[in-house]
Amino acid sequence: MSDLSIPQAEQEKGVLEHVLLVDDNPVNLKILYKTLSNGGYKLLTAEDGETAVQIAQQTKPSLILLDIMMPGIDGYEVCEILKNNPDTADIAIIFLSALEISSAKVKAFAVGGVDYISKPFQADEVVARVRNHIKIHRLERQLARRNFELESENHQIFNAVSEGIIGLDKDGRITMLNPSAMVICGWAVADCLGEQLTALRLFEVDETVKMQEHETLPYLSYRMGQSAHSDMKLIRRRDNTFLPIAITSTPRAEGGAVVVFRDISEWLDSEEALRIARQELESQRQNIAHMERLNTTGAMAAGIAHEVNQPLTAISNYSRVARRLLERENFQHQQLAELLDKLNVQSERASEVIHRMRSYVKKPNGVLSEVDVNEMVMEVIVLAEVDSRINDVSVHFEPQLDLPALHLDVVQIQQVTLNLIRNAMEATAMANSSAQGVMVKTERQGNAVFIRVIDHGVGIAEGKEDQVFNPFYTTKTNGMGIGLSICQSIIQAQGGTIGFEHNPKGGASFYFSLAIT
């Protein structure tokens, strides 16, 4: 299945992003090829490490999906060979392997991998990671190139590239202006030679404020003999439009200074594109978290239906009693009023259950709100009452009083808390230790508030501690293995930490922290 016939000119023109798929299993290779076939990439394939290196050196793909365990040279060696070659060192490599041990993943990143996808993989996950790594890798490569160019101002001056160069004498008068400077500033040589630099009003971006000569950056060079630099300044062109530039001013040995301008508008565009790509990644993370909340709601559906059905049944019964009262010739108004009060109580009870679930499954708006942590935890415990009855495991709460209010994304923190409580109840039920229940605690430690969920369940298996927060790792028969991974990403995005400890009395204690701001 190897493809060595891709013209080099096609890739250099950027017609298609090249993606190399490497796996010694033809079936896996075929599945990968089919998964990415509609992504708009030029797909290359290799069934062993030697062929993969050969194709990579010849075509220089943007990204490689690389299996680890292969005959001959394995995936780690392939990655090391490519990273040690300057021509292929910037290729993004995603390892794709069935190896679940932590050391395998650590080594994958140590040799230069940018990501690690465990087999069996989900097609949507592979497509999303490939798309975003290609986008981010391309933008970071552009950004690195721009930074290198900005750090090489002096070299580029001597090679007369696109920078604008203005020569000044010791009094700040213009002695020379190259073509690029004329384009950047919008001034012709004839209008500038012999004039003070301040006469061009380049640095007066506010028309209401006249900038004095000593306030301009080049003044430090031609008057004070000091080098000066700014990564970003706005200058006013002759037509009164504004342009972002990087500027370097260097004193000359014979007096005066050389001022170098670089137009960085394209660089700023690349920065903005990179910011948007990161926003897209965050949006995808939130979408996955929302899907997990919906999945949790589905798992609780039977209990929720029972919870709502009870008040609805009561409402129905009270309604029939009320009708019978009305059919009497001399019904008592007091009895009817009492029935109506009971109807109202039951309707509010049903409404509250539905309101709690709607609040939980809604998508967060990204706005942080001031939250009383103890009240938030109590709301989650009430939400978990359905599972509490199903598992016959009680939930106890020990709040630390007088905790400071925190600014949080409430929906997502509630999701983390509910996930930990539900996991604790299931582990407790599995261990037949329901009588001891689950304990939830809040406490302040330094500049953070900690929420702990302590159970007396089956605990974390010895040797599996490093895998608990890995995507798709689960000990549940019907579990997807993404709940704790999503919890970790949510807490890290909020600037906190998440982890667990073995409970000396049996079970586990999961916790997460939220910074006090």
Q: 514 with 494: CB under 8 angstroms?
A: yes
**What integer pLDDT is reported at residue 451 of this predicted model?**
93
The residue ranges of DSSP E strands in 226-302, in sequence order, are 228-236, 242-251, 257-263
How many residues comprise the chain? 517
pLDDT in tens, 99-124: 878 888 899 999 999 899 888 888 89
Ramachandran region, residue 446 (left: φ > 0; alpha: ψ -120 to 50; beta: rest): left
* Local structure of residue 466 (DSSP, 8 states): G
**What integer pLDDT is reported at residue 457 of this predicted model?**
84
**What integer pLDDT is reported at residue 517 of this predicted model?**
79
**Strand order through the sheet with 508-515:** 395-398, 438-445, 448-454, 508-515, 498-502
**What integer pLDDT is reported at residue 5 of this predicted model?**
34
Spatial separation of the C-alpha atoms in residues 478 and 190, rounded to whole Å:
79
Measured N-to-C along each axis, helices 75-83 and 102-110 cross at an angle, to the nearest 10 degrees, of 20
Spatial separation of the C-alpha atoms in residues 217 and 213, rounded to whole Å:
9
Radius of gyration of the chain from its Cα atoms, rounded to whole angstroms: 33
HSE-up (13 A, CA, CB side) for residue 65: 31
The full set of domains in the chain, from first to last, is 8-151 (3.40.50.2300), 154-263 (3.30.450.20), 300-363 (1.10.287), 365-517 (3.30.565.10)
Burial label for 477, CB within 10 Å (0-12, 13-18, 19+), is exposed
**What integer pLDDT is reported at residue 49 of this predicted model?**
92
Other residues' Cβ atoms within 10 Å of the Cβ of residue 190: 7
pLDDT in tens, 305-344: 545 555 666 566 667 667 767 777 676 777 667 667 666 6
Task: Please provide the DSSP assignment of 173-221 as one string.
Answer: BEEEE-HHHHHHH---HHHHTTSBGGGGTTT--STTSPPPGGGSTTHHH
**What integer pLDDT is reported at residue 449 of this predicted model?**
94
Per the DSSP assignment, residues forming a β-bridge with 371 are 406
pLDDT in tens, 400-423: 998 999 988 777 788 788 888 888
* pLDDT mean by block of 10 residues, the chain; 517 residues: 38 67 91 90 92 93 92 92 91 88 90 89 89 83 73 52 83 87 86 87 80 86 89 86 89 89 82 74 62 54 53 65 70 70 65 58 63 89 76 88 88 82 86 83 93 87 72 54 71 86 87 90
Nearest to 414 by CA among 472, 356, 456: 356
